[in-house]
Every structure is written in C-alpha cells, then in structure tokens.
A = this chain, B = another copy of it.
Amino acid sequence: MGPGAEFDMIRSIWRRIGGTAAASGDDCAFFEVDGARLAISSDLSIEGTHFQAGWMGLHEIGWRAATAGLSDLAAVAATPLGITVSVGVPAERPEGDLAEVMEGVAEATKEAGAVIWGGDIVRCDRMVLDVTVVGRLEKDPVLRSGARVGDGLFVTGQLGGPAAALAAWDGLSEPDALARARFVRPRARIVEAQWLRDRGAHAMIDVSDGLLADAGHLAAASEVACVLDLNAVPVHPAAVGREQALTSGEEYELLVALNGDDSVVGEFSGRFGLSLTRVGRVEAGSEASVERDGVVVSNLSSFEHF
C-alpha cells in the first residue's frame, strides 16, 4: 500500500481486524481453490462523490464503473472471468434508466471477455454502483511490490484527459470531446498488461489516483524510489500542461517497472496502437519524486480521491 490518508485508514482497520484479513495492498486480492488461482477486487462508485449525474449518460456511468474494476484485474495481469454489480437506484428513476446503466456495464464486461454473474438492486436516493470483478491468473500476478533498482518506469497512453474534463465540468463548461471521452469511456488495459507481464514487467499498477500518486504507491510497496521525468510524461492533447498529466486520476492506464531498452516501446505501440512511454526510473531510496531537466521539482502535490 502507498501513502495517504485512505491507506492509513485502511492499514489501521486492517490491523484491528487482522485475524481474518488477507489484504495484499495490491489492486486485487488473490486466492486459490483446488489449484485454480484467482484475483478479486471491488470498486464502489457513488453519485455525488465520484461523478455528477449531469456529466455523463447512464450508459457511460455503467461502462466507467465496470472498467474501474476490470482495470484492477489488468493491473495484476489477470484474465477477467466475471463480475457482480450492486446498484442503488433512485425510486423516481424508471426501470429503463437502470437497464441503460446495466447495458454500459455489460458492454465493458463483454469487451473484457467476461460475463455478468449477478448482483443486487436496491432503492437509494442517488446512484450507487459497486462492481466486484474476478479473474484467473494464468501466471504469477504482477504486483506493486516487484520494482527493482535499475528498472525503467513506463506508462501506457497519454495522461491528463480525465483531469481536463473534470476541470471543465467544475467551471460549468463542456469539456473537450477527447478529454470527455477519456473520462466517460476509459479502457481497461487487459491484453496490454498480459503482454507486459510476458515481457518481464517487475511491477505494475493502474493509474487511478494519478501518475505521481500511483508511482508513490509503487515506491512504497517495492521499497524503492520512483523518479519521474516531468518532460517525458505523455500529455493528452486536451490537458493543460504536464502538471495536470501528472496528477490526473482515473486514467486506468498502466504504470510499469521493467528492465529493458526502448525496443519494448516500439513493439508495444506497433501491437496495440497505443503509446508506451518511458517516464522515469527506479532508484534506491523511497517515495516518488519528479524531476524537470534533472532537477527535483518538489512542490507537486499528489491527487487524493479520499
């Protein structure tokens, strides 16, 4: 687990209930049944906390909630099997609305090669969506804790789109169409993660709290320092500068620690039509930091969603 108030709280609670908990601090928990190896994760999205109803269509709300969960499976290189979806839905919203949310969930689930197993539906005064995903591990999972001194840090895609969309909505304006698309229709990098695992990824995390914050989680779990090069961060065209790209959360791109030359970059983008960018390096030490032109930039605060 990384730093921050949410992690401190979880750690404290985990200590209190320690006798029965099996928390790994990774994006998923792992378990074995009769020789089968599985990964599981839950993600709770609440209207008003994680999104405003006016920002997105119902289909998009469903897609996003499912993708947040599926991305946790991607982060450990698991293959999605199925999901359960619990939905709290306002009483005044007709059945058709709930169906539209579930269609978004179903589309994301199907694209990931998984199925919806079931769930629960209850009345609530706002939309609540909790998605639990279960995946199969064909090989050892890629953990947050495996980064080694000398590894390069790579990130998939371009960052900053979701933050740009949120900034627009906060200013009561309509976001740029590409930035909006990054927020309402993120992709879980499932096959990309398995390819990176097979190319020898030592550690992996999905960018949900922001590149800097998630590099901090990786550093803490691996007991290393993660040094990001601000000039190298791949910036989404709609993002306002590199700082926004560094702190934009809910990207669901992958941050990977990998020991290798830049041939992996060309191979990856050639295969997936998605950029892979070397954004930093793993050093001895602790914490995540950001350099610009070789000088540490110290005053960037990380994005905390709790």
A-side interface residues toward B, CB under 8 Å?
6, 9-10, 12-13, 16-17, 19-24, 28-29, 31, 33-36, 38, 40-46, 48-50, 81-82, 84-88, 95, 98-99, 102-103, 105-106, 109-110, 114-125, 128, 130, 132, 134, 136, 305-306
Which of chain B's residues has its CB closest to A106's CB? B17
**B contact residues around A21 at 8 Å (CB):** 106, 115-116
A33 with B44, Cβ < 8 A, contacts A17-B106, A106-B21, A118-B24 known: no
Q: How far is the CA of A162 from the CA of B138 in the complex (A)?
A: 46
A49 with B106, Cβ < 8 A, contacts A29-B84, A98-B9 known: no
Verify A120–B43 contact, CB threshold 8 A. Answer: yes
Tell me how many chains of this kind the complex includes: 2
9 example contacts (A-B, Cβ-Cβ < 8 A) are as follows: A6-B121, A16-B99, A22-B118, A24-B118, A33-B136, A40-B134, A44-B120, A44-B130, A84-B132
**B contact residues around A28 at 8 Å (CB):** 118
A86 with B130, Cβ < 8 A, contacts A17-B103, A106-B20, A121-B10 known: yes
A44 with B134, Cβ < 8 A, contacts A98-B13, A122-B306 known: no
